[in-house]
Structure 1
Amino acid sequence: MNTGTGTTPPGLRERKKQRTRDALVRAALELFTERGYEQTTVDEIAEAVDVSQRTFFRYFAGKEDAALALQELAEAHFAAAVRARPPHEPPMEALRRAVLEGWDTISDAIEAVVPVALHLRMWRVIESTPVLLAARLRRSMETEEEIARVIAAREGLDADTDPRPRVAVAVFSGVIRVAERQWSTGTDHSVAAIRALTSEYLDHVGPALAGGWRTHP
């Protein structure tokens, strides 16, 4: 709607900015998965969207931010899902349900930016690119700390004096990383496959911690 002042209404302006950011993310991921992360330049990403390099840097500090933009989205989604779990659920059950049920809704959020198949291809690029993998793990540690404090608050604990929330989240996060790594090196790279593998690995947490693995004396 034209306000007659020659200015863009705030809502429309924000939607245009979001569309530009989403377009840059999609262009970046397409180039990273086709050419490789190191071989792709910021100029090439900006050119693919027909914007200037200066516009790119309005949205991202650099290539790393664009490469990990969907990880940030997914982790924020997971944190929100943990907060929304019923308070009676034990910590590990709340984490498990948040991640497994989250696949139903995070796919829609990702699809609003890029096809899920592209997101999953980029996942494998991150796993095979040392600088991105290191950055992803660093950011994941920040999310783990946030989740540990959410769990502590749910249980009425102080995360700074009681180690259990951080231990639980560390175990959970480690299992998720193992499942992701197995999925990324496998042959079935579908959403259904990563979800099934995640569920299977989480099912083994109890037996693995309980010990008694030996099948012979």
Structure 2
Amino acid sequence: MDGMSVPTDQGGLRARKKQRTRAALIDAGLDLFLANGYEATNVDEIAAAVEVSSRTFFRYFASKEDIALAKGAEFDELLLDALTSRPAEEPPLTALRHAMLGMLREAAADSGVQRFLSTQHLINKTPALLAGNLRRAAGTEERLTTEIARRQGVDPDQDMRPRVLVAAVCGALRIGLEATCADPSRELGRMVELVEQAIDLATAGIPQRWGDDPRRW
């Protein structure tokens, strides 16, 4: 048994080392972007900050854009996991709202959320990043739509309600984060309040439970 455990341990060590290297590249890249600007920072500088080669950098990321969008992508994965974990009997708006706000509250308790907000502000004011961020957001909305449709037992190609609900809530998230980023203090508790307020405004006309007619709520 002892001999069999060695490969597993080595595999676990390799996985942890890869995760540490990936996290270090993200942190170094964001530090450089925020200090010197996105356009002025190159891949060689990010790799050098972590004392790895540029070749090693490209084993983890296709471009420096992926570094800038990494925190948002991580949040997206956690949000999707949170939604799929909500009780099956929950109405769609309730499930999505709780998943979104629950993830934000967890993020607000994490020391890295200030970095996330600073990065979002950087993305918002950097044209070169906006297109990639929109692609990322569109892909996430599509996956959330698929999950809401599955929970409701409807075809999202025939029933627009899942897509409209997800667009409203994700749009509210963006507005709430933009409002938070616009405030230099970027208070974390205020972030959750602003996003919650924006979601409530955006979904005020959406009932908890939907009817059978896909043309109306």
TM-score by length of 1: 0.86
Q: Distance in 1 between matches of 2:203 and 2:86?
A: 21
What is the match of residue 194 of structure 2? 197
One-letter amino acid of the structure 2 residue matched with residue 62 of structure 1: S
Secondary structure of the corresponding residue to residue 79 of structure 1: helix
The answer to whether the 8 Å contact 1:77/1:106 transfers is no
One-letter amino acid of the structure 2 residue matched with residue 171 of structure 1: A
5+ residue gaps in structure 2?
A: 208-217
Q: Distance in 2 between matches of 1:175 and 1:107?
A: 17
What is the match of residue 36 of structure 1? 37
Structure 2 CA distance for partners of 1:208 and 1:186, relative to 1, 3 Å: farther
Indicate yes or no: 2:71 matched with 1:70: yes
Number of aligned pairs? 204
What is the match of residue 116 of structure 1? 113
Secondary structure of the corresponding residue to residue 37 of structure 1: coil
5+ residue gaps in structure 1?
A: 211-217
What is the match of residue 211 of structure 2? none
Q: Distance in 1 between matches of 2:205 and 2:57?
A: 46
Secondary structure of the corresponding residue to residue 61 of structure 1: coil
The answer to whether the 8 Å contact 1:46/1:53 transfers is yes
Secondary structure of the corresponding residue to residue 68 of structure 1: helix
The answer to whether the 8 Å contact 2:86/2:99 transfers is yes
Question: Deviation digits for residues 23-75 of structure 1, max 9, x if unmatched?
Answer: 00000011111111001011110110011111101100010011111111000
Q: Distance in 2 between matches of 1:96 and 1:36?
A: 34
TM-align CA RMSD: 2.5
TM-score by length of 2: 0.86
Q: Distance in 1 between matches of 2:169 and 2:31?
A: 31
Secondary structure of the corresponding residue to residue 204 of structure 1: helix
What is the match of residue 15 of structure 1? 16
Structure 2 CA distance for partners of 1:207 and 1:156, relative to 1, 3 Å: closer
Structure 2 CA distance for partners of 1:158 and 1:196, relative to 1, 3 Å: same
One-letter amino acid of the structure 2 residue matched with residue 89 of structure 1: E
Q: What is the Cα deviation at residue 187 of structure 1?
A: 3.0
Question: Deviation digits for residues 96-140 of structure 1, max 9, x if unmatched?
Answer: 1111111233457x65xxx33222211110111112122111111
